[in-house]
Chain A
Amino acid sequence: MKKSSLEAVSLASTLAQGGKVIAAVFTKSSFKNQLEKAGATIVAFQDISYSPTKHGEALAQLAKKYNSALILASATLHGKEVGALCSASLDCPFLADVVEIAGTQPLKVKHPVYAGKAIATFESKAAQNVLTLRPNVFTYADHPTTANESAEQTQIANVGEMLVDFVKSAKAKKELTESDIIVSGGRGLGGPEHFDIIEQLADALGAAVGASRAVVDAGWRPHSDQVGQTGKTVSPKLYIACAISGAVQHLAGMRSSKVIVAINKDKDAPIFKIADYGIIGDVFEVVPALTKEILKRKG
């Protein structure tokens, strides 16, 4: 089970206050053990191959069957589209990328807007709501309980949408939006070949590798690595920005990181204004030294 899925179940358990928590799983196995540890009281499972509309529909049918007041999904790529499709099927409100539940009667949630430059608090008067939750924000806690398994047999009509292929990347990459630690590189690295120092530091920390827009636009790194307003929004425990100046669009994507470290040779780089810790220096000296120090302490 994805960490972010378990975060959602854990939150559901807290909000349910003793009420039913239904974990919806669209695979052959029910993952009952992990889910009941997180707080699920019912695990409703059914093997449905992925297609956005099918999963959205199946989720909506479950919400109707169990008369759920709140439907939660993690704000991953799949979670966001399935959540939105589900809410449209139920004809109920959809609130995306929630970072805080501010109230339950009526439901009040907070989510970032303007790429995280502001936080909006929304209140819903609807009896049923679909929320997607930003990964890494709602800390997982065990809520051990005993879950009943329910093998569902929802009939979903074919809707002309079919997943025909999935090709995994040769290099298994950590997903940025779900990573606890991210090391990011910017244009100051000078070229794609210099990203090796970033990757080595990331390996030492068990971190994901991110990139600024400049680096992606220059073709050094793929768009899926981009952190920022037109890339990914991340909320890791630790974000290390290497040779990144700190343009407002980049900050929009990483400013909710718990701890920010900046390494840059320009003491006036805007990134230092938002960093918790900064090192003024040449990334080609500092980053390998940092990797060495981390490995030394690990060993």
Chain B
Amino acid sequence: MKIVVCVKRVPDTETKVKISADGKALDQSGVNYILNPYDEFAVEQALQLKESAGGEVIAISLGTAETEKILRTTLAMGADKAILLKADNYTGITETRTIAKLLATKIKEVGADIIFFGRQSIDNDAAALGPSIARELSLPFCGLITKFEKTNEGIKVGREADGGIETFTLSLPCVVSANKGLNTPRYASLKGVMAAKTKPLETIPVQLSDQLVSVVSLELPGARKEGKIVAEGSAAVEQLVKLLHEEAKVI
């Protein structure tokens, strides 16, 4: 099977966001970048599928040159090849359609039987790339899966929705996005890290052409009004309820 997994380089969850001088982007100084946490579940499922059904795992990403490090991580975990669509001006919080088309074109060329995504990137939080690429390639899609099974006819996946579990069947080729709980991602072994250095990583420069959607500004959320400690212990409860009712008017 040709198993493609689409990954992204994102600022880690500890990042204290500061705005750049031009007021439109993240100030990158001191920011540590990682493989998008949800993508780890996608990579793990891709590797498990290869181990059970045979084939190869190809990791792909669109990003700046530094994204190569993230692709090496996926190679170290066990992916066989990686492809970087290198866009020097990529900020991570662009509107999805532009990058979806670029990635879809390359993925089509690769000829995937199944394409894994993480459910969303923790910078853009749109959860849109998977569905967008699925539609671009006219492939069935199911997102946020927490159960995955290969069947004779294709795959069977499950996810939590509307207070229950939905189960879908999808024919191949298809696109899925992985949610936390799907599996336990493996750590790259030292052997894996060494092997990753010589696994094929293809870099293709791409242009993010004049986009219809642009970032006008990036701001920190408004500071919350300073709060107050009502009091200590259960004696404070009566006062708290009074405040929530009369002052905050939320109950």
Q: Which of A168-222 contact B (CB under 8 A)?
A: 168-169, 172-173, 175, 181, 205, 222
The answer to whether B234 has its CB under 8 Å from any CB of chain A is: yes
Interface: B237 (CB within 8 A)? yes
B248 and A276 within 8 A (CB): yes
Report the stretch among B106-114, B198-206, B224-232 that lies at the interface. B224-232
Interface stretch among A15-23, A29-37, A91-99, A140-148?
A: A91-99
User: Does A114 contact B123, Cβ atoms closer than 8 Å?
Assistant: yes
* Contact in complex: A161, B141 (CB < 8 Å): yes
Q: Which residues of A contact B214 (CB under 8 A)?
A: 122-123
B221 near A286 with CB under 8 A, answer: no
Residue of B at shortest CB range from A262?
B227
Name the residue on A nearest B93 (C-beta).
Answer: A113
A-B contact count (CB 8 A): 286
Contact B161 A78, beta carbon cutoff 8 Å: yes
Q: How far is the CB of B110 from chain A (nearest CB, A)?
A: 19
Write out the residue numbers on chain B whose beta carbons fall within 8 Å of the beta carbon of A46. none
Closest to A160 in B: B171
Assign chain A's interface to a size class.
Answer: 35 or more
Is A286 a contact of B234 with CB atoms below 8 Å?
Answer: yes
Contact across chains for B142 and A124 when beta carbons are under 8 A apart = no
Interface residue B170 (Cβ < 8 Å from any Cβ of A): yes
* CB atoms of A286 and B135 under 8 A apart: no
Q: Which residues of A contact B93 (CB under 8 A)?
A: 113, 120
What's the interface size class on B, roughly? 35 or more
Q: Is B163 at the interface (CB under 8 A from chain A)?
A: yes
A84 touches B96 (CB 8 A): yes
B227 touches A94 (CB 8 A): no
B122 touches A96 (CB 8 A): no
Alpha-carbon gap, A78 to B175, bound state (A): 16
Question: Complex: how many Å from CA A277 to CA B126?
Answer: 32
Q: How far is the CA of A56 from the CA of B142 in the complex (A)?
A: 12
Contact of B180 (CB < 8 Å), options: A116, A159, A161, A230? A230
Contact A280/B229 with A120-B93, A121-B215, A162-B168 known, Cβ cut-off 8 Å: yes
Contact A52 B220 (CB under 8 A): no
Asked if A151 lies at the interface with its beta carbon under 8 angstroms from chain B, I say no
Note all chain B residues with C-beta closer than 8 A to A120.
93, 215, 217-219
Option from B13, B229, B234 in Cβ contact (under 8 Å) with A229: B13
- State the B residues within 8 Å of A (CB): 11, 13-17, 19, 26, 37-38, 93, 95-97, 100, 122-128, 130-136, 138-144, 146, 154, 156, 159-171, 174, 179-181, 212-221, 224-225, 227-234, 236-238, 240-241, 243-245, 248, 250-251
* 20 residue pairs from A and B, CB less than 8 Å apart: A52-B142, A56-B135, A93-B97, A95-B213, A96-B127, A97-B126, A114-B123, A116-B221, A118-B221, A119-B219, A122-B95, A125-B212, A161-B142, A165-B165, A249-B13, A256-B221, A278-B227, A279-B230, A282-B233, A290-B237
Given A118-B220, A281-B236, 13 more A-B residue pairs with CB atoms under 8 Å apart are A84-B131, A88-B132, A113-B124, A126-B212, A161-B141, A161-B142, A169-B163, A181-B251, A276-B248, A277-B243, A286-B237, A293-B238, A293-B241
